[in-house]
Chain A
Amino acid sequence: MTKEKKSLKKINFTPYLMILPIMILLSIFAFYPIALSVIKSLFRWSGTFGNDGVNTFIGFKNFIELFQDEIFLQSWGNTLFFIITGSVINLIFPFLCALLIFSIGNEKISYRWRVAFVAPMVVPSMVVFLLWQFIYDVDMGVVNNLLQLFGANKVDLLGNPDSVKWAIRFMGFPWVGGTFLLVYIAGLSGIDNSLREAAKIDGASALYRIFAIDIPLSKPQFKMILTLSIIGEIQDFVKIQTVTEGGPGYSSYVPGLYMYKVAFDSNEYGKACAIGVTMLVVMLFASFLMNVLFKKEDID
């Protein structure tokens, strides 16, 4: 028996066989569409297979057109705003809330608070968006009714290019519920409590303990949430489609919305694939950047 055969015999194939079904499904439903998008981004394609419809190879024309397209560039500018503000919000507010919940000594009460903050997740996001649209409504919205109560003029927060992005960002206030909160609580729970106790004995204040222990040791959570926030902000267009359709003008347009409209309104699936590919590249780059910024040894 050769050495190679011996080493093959040593390999345990069972885990690979067990993971095979999910890999096959992933290949069909995730990897294949990604590969197809990359290929079809080089085509003028009406979304059909076979002989019907348009399916012409045009090289990088879709990409060239996109990078000359003011709307596409403006939509990336808007996305940058949402990435920055969204990341800041997701890094700060759920973490502060997690700290408060974690600091509750009574486990039962702490659990109840966790449930209270996570429970709103069951409300469909569409309902939340429509609710906020009601809140901002010029005639009947709470904001304008309150303003009028104090003698101020009505404001059209979603209809003004200067305020629309901030108004969209403000949706979901106070931004503390949901998955990110649980991630932070899990992270804080994972920190060895003896560190906090030792700091306390050494006379460190609560604020100092947060900055010296909780924040540095929550870096893996910050990394994950920052990465997810960036990816989420690039992908998300549902709330914008629901409340402003990207308007007024293109003030709140984002690449995801553009991709959706190019594909389903104009039937230009090749161009939509090209938009998708640019989004994919940016998301991959952002993930890579996060890995560089939060090096494993730093986290350790």
Chain B
Amino acid sequence: MFNKIKKIFAILLIAVCFASMAIKAVGGNNAKQITLSFWGTNLPYQFALEGIAAQYNEMQDEYEVVIDKQDAGNYRIWMGGRLAGGNASDLLATTNVYANTDASNGYLYDLSEALNQPNPYSDSGLSWKDDFSGTYLTQVAYANDTSKFYCVPTNTVSVRFMINTDILEQNGIEIPTADWTFSDYRRICEKLENSGYETAMEIANAKFINYTVSWAIDIMMAQLKYDEVLGYDRNQNGQVETEEIVRAFLEGEDPLDMAKDTDFKEVMQFIKLWSRYWGEGFNSRDDTSENFLRQTVPMMFGGSWSVSGIELTLNNENPEADKTNPYKMFNYISLPFPRLEKEVYLDKDTTFTFTNLKEGLPLQELGEPSGCFCIPKSTVEAGKLEGTLDFLRFFTSAQAASYMAEKAYEIPVIKNVEINEKMYDFLPPENSESIRMRFNLLNLSDGVASEYHFKQVQMYLMEGASSISLSTLCRNVQAKYEEVTELIRDDNGWEW
């Protein structure tokens, strides 16, 4: 009897498997359904995406947008496999670096023509391209041909110092404002340390030196090399593209040389001195947000992407959850990276001098495009281009951007978007410009090379026998820059 039941159960299971495969095979070709795939663990972002899809589906009945969340760890492999196999989702979350690679492999649809047309969901009367503010769109142009676009951004990420104002007030420390200097910041740290805080400020992602620290390096380098970077921007479009970076390193009598560059050396020396106060834990879990939330660390340097987690935790109004969670509400502000001065106060015994620093220059920290989406060529072949493009236009409208800012704390890349007070702090302050050039190999589309850069910095910041010297760091970074830029030049056949 039992065996019979087992048999029936097994047959049923197999039948269900086959039926679901058949339904998937038939349903998979449904031209009306548009699948958007993305990766991530950020729940507010997922809910906001679903909200945008729901709004779009309600607005029209020709297409149905379906949100498909993929595993963050394996997304790139999943995405690459699907693109190569010609069965990718209709709309794919991507990054500028991934899009460059996938475009050169011929997997993506070129959006440049569509971007020249007006966005029907915008009231601006401008082309879709011109609805983007600053250089957010041009920053994602195809590296090998800047007239082409294989992805569009839907938001931007930026970094800020998040400061627990309650702790500062309790300790009689004046709340700083957006025009604060690095010396101001360090004096606040000292007061907090004297009040018993072991670490006054933590840096998110410091453990792998691959993101937040690289932002800090870029912001400082942008201030120090302001005039030179203007010179690298040969087409004067407000950013230094791949070809311009390659030229800066390889062309002319006085090319950029990190092994000799005084500014780069000074920034690295300064970072090493600063890192003494960061708190321990290379390769530890990144618990910066956690420590900030628990108020054991009064300040954190992190990205806009941390805000949703902080807000979600602090605004948790569930009384049952409040009984067990260790967090208490507190007020905080987000400030831009403090300005460097020629003489920076680090502690009572240490002052650092930046030889070439010019004070009073615009801040450069507008942020970089994120939340990029691309359309695979397979979408075009499946006859879904029109619908997918239409949704992408809606997704980049002011209405959708405002919704994403409200629900997922995303910073918009579209002009004239109303956003909440918390995210307003992340908008570029007055007298600021976009970062024209990132001073790491990240922007040259070579993951292993950029990792090499970060690991070199990591080894330089270490203490002990495994640490490398400043000259070794600069020499190694320059050697990698030359290797990578020469390869890019040769691959593209660039001659100047």
Report 16 cross-chain contacts, Cβ distance below 8 Å, ordered by A residue. Answer: A46-B104, A50-B106, A53-B106, A139-B291, A140-B285, A141-B284, A154-B280, A161-B464, A245-B208, A248-B283, A248-B458, A249-B458, A249-B459, A264-B76, A264-B77, A266-B449
Give the interface size class of chain B: 35 or more
**Beyond A162-B466, A247-B208, is A265–B284 a contact (Cβ under 8 Å)?**
no
Give bound CA distance, A160 to B466, whole Å: 9
> Are A244 and B105 within 8 A (Cβ)?
no
| Chain B contact residues, majority secondary structure | helix
A262 closest partner in B (C-beta):
B448
**Which residues of chain B have C-beta atoms less than 8 A from A218's C-beta?**
none
> Which residue of chain B has its CB nearest to the CB of A70?
B476
With A and B bound together, what is the CA distance between A262 and B222 in angstroms? 30
User: B280 to chain A: which residues have CB within 8 Å?
Assistant: 138, 154, 156, 159
Q: How far is the CA of A164 from the CA of B464 in the complex (A)?
A: 14
Give residues 42-63 of A contacting B (CB, 8 Å): 46-54
* Residues of chain B lying within 8 A (CB to CB) of residue A247: 208, 282-283, 455, 458
A48, A133, A134, A136: the one within 8 Å of B105 (CB): A48
Residues on A with beta carbons closer than 8 Å to the beta carbon of B184: none
Instruction: Tell which of A50, A162, A243, A266 has the most Cβ of chain B within 10 Å.
Output: A266
Determine if B423 is an interface residue (Cβ-Cβ < 8 Å): no
Say yes or no: is B281 at the interface (Cβ < 8 Å to chain A).
yes
Assembled-state Cα–Cα distance A51/B107 (Å) = 12
- Contact mask for chain A residues 24-57; partner B; CB cutoff 8 A; 1 contact, 0 none: 0000000000000000000000111111111000
CA distance A250 to B459 in the complex (A): 9
Q: Does B451 contact A (CB under 8 A)?
A: yes
Residue of A nearest to B290 (CB): A140
Q: Which residue of A lies closest to B483 (CB)?
A: A65
Give the residue name and chain of the B residue nearest to A156 (CB): B280
A 148-176 binary contact with B (CB < 8 Å = 1; else 0): 00000010101111101000000000000
How far is it, in angstroms, between the C-alpha of A9 and the C-alpha of B20 when the chains are bound?
A: 47
Interface: A213 (CB within 8 A): no
- B436-464 Cβ-contact flags toward A at 8 Å (1 or 0): 00000000001111011001101100101
Q: Is the CB of A54 within 8 A of B491?
A: yes
Q: Which of B253-275 contact A (CB under 8 A)?
A: none
Q: What is the bound-complex CA distance between A54 and B487, given in angstroms?
A: 12
Kindly state whether residue A66 has any CB partner on chain B within 8 Å: no
Report if A139-B281 is in contact (Cβ < 8 Å); known contacts: A52-B105, A249-B459. Answer: yes
**Do B283 and A161 touch across chains, with their CB atoms under 8 A apart?**
no
Partner-B contacts on A (CB < 8 A): 46-54, 71, 133-134, 136-141, 154, 156, 158-162, 164, 243-251, 258, 261-262, 264-268
B455 A250 Cβ-Cβ under 8 A:
yes
Q: How far is the CB of A50 from chain B (nearest CB, A)?
A: 8
User: How far in angstroms is the closest Cβ of chain A from B422?
Assistant: 26
When the two chains form their complex, are residues A139 and B284 in contact, meaning their CB atoms are under 8 A apart?
A: yes
| Cβ-closest chain A residue relative to B103 | A52
Q: Which residues of B contact A249 (CB under 8 A)?
A: 455-456, 458-459, 462, 466, 468
3 cross-chain pairs, A with B, having the tightest CB-CB distances, nearest first = A265-B447, A159-B282, A52-B106
- Of all chain A residues, which has the CB nearest B447? A265
Q: Say which residue of B105, B284, B456 sits within 8 Å of A156 (CB atoms).
A: B284
Q: A258 to chain B: which residues have CB within 8 Å?
A: 448
Task: Give complex CA distance A191, B105 in Å.
Answer: 58
Which chain B residue shows the least CB distance to A136?
B284
Hey, which chain B residues are within 8 Å of A49, CB to CB?
84
Contact at B106–A248, with CB atoms within 8 Å?
A: no
Contact assessment for B452 and A71 in the assembled complex, using a CB-CB cutoff below 8 Å: yes
Indicate whether B82 reaches chain A with its CB closer than 8 angstroms: no
Interchain CB contact (< 8 A) of B448 among A53, A159, A266:
A266
Q: Closest CB-CB distance, B378 to chain A, in whole Å?
A: 14
* CB of B473, distance to nearest CB on chain A (Å): 11
| Interchain CB contact under 8 A, A139 and B283 | no
9 new A-B contacts, CB < 8 A, other than A133-B284, A156-B283, A162-B465, are: A52-B107, A138-B279, A159-B281, A160-B464, A161-B464, A164-B283, A247-B458, A248-B462, A249-B462
Inside 8 A of B459's CB, which chain A residues have their CB?
248-249
Assess the B282–A137 pair: CB atoms within 8 A: no
Asked if B187 is an interface residue, CB under 8 A from chain A, the answer is no
Which residues does chain B contribute within 8 Å of A52, judged by CB atoms?
104-107
Q: Is the CB of B451 within 8 A of A53?
A: no
